[in-house]
Chains A and B, each alone.
Chain A
Amino acid sequence: MTLLKVEEIETYIEQYHILQGISFEVLKGEITVLFGRNGAGKTTTLRSVMGLSPISKGQITFRGENIGSLPTYEIARRGIGYVPEDQGIFKDLTVEENMRISILKRDESALEKLEWILNLFPDLKTLWHRKSGLLSGGQKQMLALARAYVGDNELLLVDEPSKGLAPIMVEKVMQAIEQMKEKTTVVLVEQNFFMASTIGDRFYIVDEGRIVHHGLMQELKEDEDARKKYLGIA
């Protein structure tokens, strides 16, 4: 079942034509990875889906509803969570406050999700009353993922969670995202092919604001020529 469908979207940032007709589909329960070099348009793609960088053309459909023209807060309320590249943590708020603000409706389901994610990231429990600005890079990433997850979201857009993290931490974060897949659908922007390919189901390669290649992750793993051509790795 298609959860998110992005069709021929174009986005400008100031006078720059960043996205020039991006299309992709996200199936429910899968991890879809967007690959591409720096400046290819991956982050702008996620921001456009969230309404933070409004599209000028094209259509974005989430659960069958056109969300392309909705304001960001309405898109978030439809069930899309966002973890930006800089994690978007509120540094002067505690871990508890960062989590509390993401729960719009405090019902049994929200509390169950909170319990589940705190079991996945037990560090957050011990740091519950600490200001999040004092957390390490890895802990901040865990908090950002946990915050997006508990917000009653059916789809998470996660932008480069491995950026700036130590290899051991990257592995932990990737494992956590894989476990979160049991409960939610994920669109992952990542440059670390080796890590992302271990958890991704499908991939899209973005270059100069367009999708230049896509398919199943297994196909890309087996296709050395495509990896060399599009990602510059053997």
Chain B
Amino acid sequence: MNLDVIVNLLVNGLATGMLIFLLASGLSLIFGLMDVLNFSHGGLFAWGAYMGVWVYVSTGSFLLAVVGAVLGGVAIGFILERWIIRPIYGNHLQQILVTLGVMLVLSELLKVFWGPNPLNAAVPPYLDGSWQLGGIILIKYRLFIIIVGILLLVGIQLLLTRTKLGLVVRAGVLNKEMVQALGYNIKRIFSIVFMLGAGMAALGGVLLAPYSGVIFSEMGMQFAILAFIVVVIGGMGSVQGSAVASVLVGLSGAFMAYYVPDLSLAVNMLLMVLVLLIKPSGLYGLKR
């Protein structure tokens, strides 16, 4: 077992894990706080990727691409929550049907705007290339994703633990009724969390585009399934749980793909089954 292989697999696994985390943490908060099964979340991820590539191609600025994609994601999230999700709060069956429908519509709309063929996405020049340390090759863009993921995790943790909004969100995950009885407009909190989750999903999408080099309209569903697995493993409503589970899923995927390729697709499911058997509420499942 070579050290350089292990380090490369670690970096790959962590980078993939961070991308999944960006998608899963929003999904987890939306489910934990709003009790909404949001299958359209993957659509926001794909829209983030497309909007980011479009802005990058148009302006040449990766920073603008990231900002544009996130703002676009937040705007779509606002529209979805206000006019599509809000009328179906509390009804899981309707949520599954409606959000799956929204996911399909979002995917098809991508084809309307950008055509049916996959788009190529380039890594910005200053993040392109790699560093070589002995036999270990560290790809710059993957390290960039890991750093962004860690910064976001810290940022969300600070938001949740150091601000009044975060306190209200954490309390809302535990007891929505009581939060209202203490004078907080839970619908407004729902909107903020939904938009935050949408923005993070879009950020995940825009960061994934150069990572994978090619984007396609159905990519959202592919990542949404991974994100749902992560939410179940980590525990509904726990950002910390999403982070740990994302890293677990990313790393196990990377290592299994290298050492036991036949099991690489099944490993996430196995992980989920194992966690559900040992702790059905997930690794960091909140007590309600």
Contact = CB atoms under 8 A, between A and B. Distances in A.
Q: Of B167, B174, B180, B186, which is in contact with the most chain A CB atoms at under 10 Å from its CB?
A: B180
A147 B181 CA distance: 11
Contact of B175 (A90, A97, A147): A90
B181 A133 contact: no
Interface in B139-195: 164, 167-168, 170-171, 174-175, 177-186
Contacts of A100: 164, 167
Nearest to B177: A52
A93 B170 contact: yes
Interface stretch (A1-9, A58-66, A68-76, A135-143): A68-76
Interface of A: 50, 52, 71-73, 76-77, 82, 84, 88, 90-93, 97, 100-102, 104, 133, 147, 151
Contact of A72 (B170, B171, B181): B181
Contact of B180 (A72, A92, A133): A72
B261 to A, nearest CB: 40
Chain A to chain B: the 7 pairs with minimum beta-carbon distance, closest first? A76-B183, A88-B178, A72-B180, A82-B181, A77-B183, A90-B171, A90-B174
Contact of B167 (A84, A91, A97, A104): A97
A73 B184 contact: yes
B275 interface: no
B286 interface: yes
A73 B178 contact: no
Interface of B: 164, 167-168, 170-171, 174-175, 177-186, 286-288
Contacts of B168: 101
Contacts of B186: 73
A104 B185 CA distance: 12
Nearest to B186: A73
Contacts of B287: 91-92, 133
A58 to B, nearest CB: 20
A76 to B, nearest CB: 4
B286 A92 contact: yes
Given A93-B167, A133-B287, A73 B174 contact: no
B287 to A, nearest CB: 5
B168 to A, nearest CB: 6
B138 to A, nearest CB: 38
A84 B178 contact: yes
Contacts of A92: 170, 174, 286-287
Q: Of B182, B185, B286, which is in contact with the most chain A CB atoms at under 10 Å from its CB?
A: B182
Given A72-B177, A92-B286, 5 more contacts: A73-B183, A88-B177, A92-B287, A101-B164, A151-B183
Contacts of A88: 175, 177-178, 181
A91 B174 contact: yes
A62 B175 CA distance: 26
Contacts of A97: 167, 170-171
A93 B174 contact: yes
Contacts of A91: 174, 287-288
A5 B288 CA distance: 34
A93 B167 CA distance: 9
B175 A76 contact: no
Contacts of B170: 90, 92-93, 97
B180 A76 contact: yes
A63 to B, nearest CB: 16
17 contacts: A50-B181, A52-B177, A52-B180, A52-B181, A71-B185, A72-B177, A72-B181, A76-B180, A77-B183, A91-B287, A93-B167, A97-B167, A101-B171, A101-B182, A102-B182, A151-B182, A151-B183
Contacts of A71: 180, 185
Contacts of A77: 183
A50 B180 CA distance: 10
B160 to A, nearest CB: 11
A76 B181 contact: yes
A90 B174 CA distance: 6
A77 B179 CA distance: 12
B276 to A, nearest CB: 21
Contacts of A84: 177-178, 181
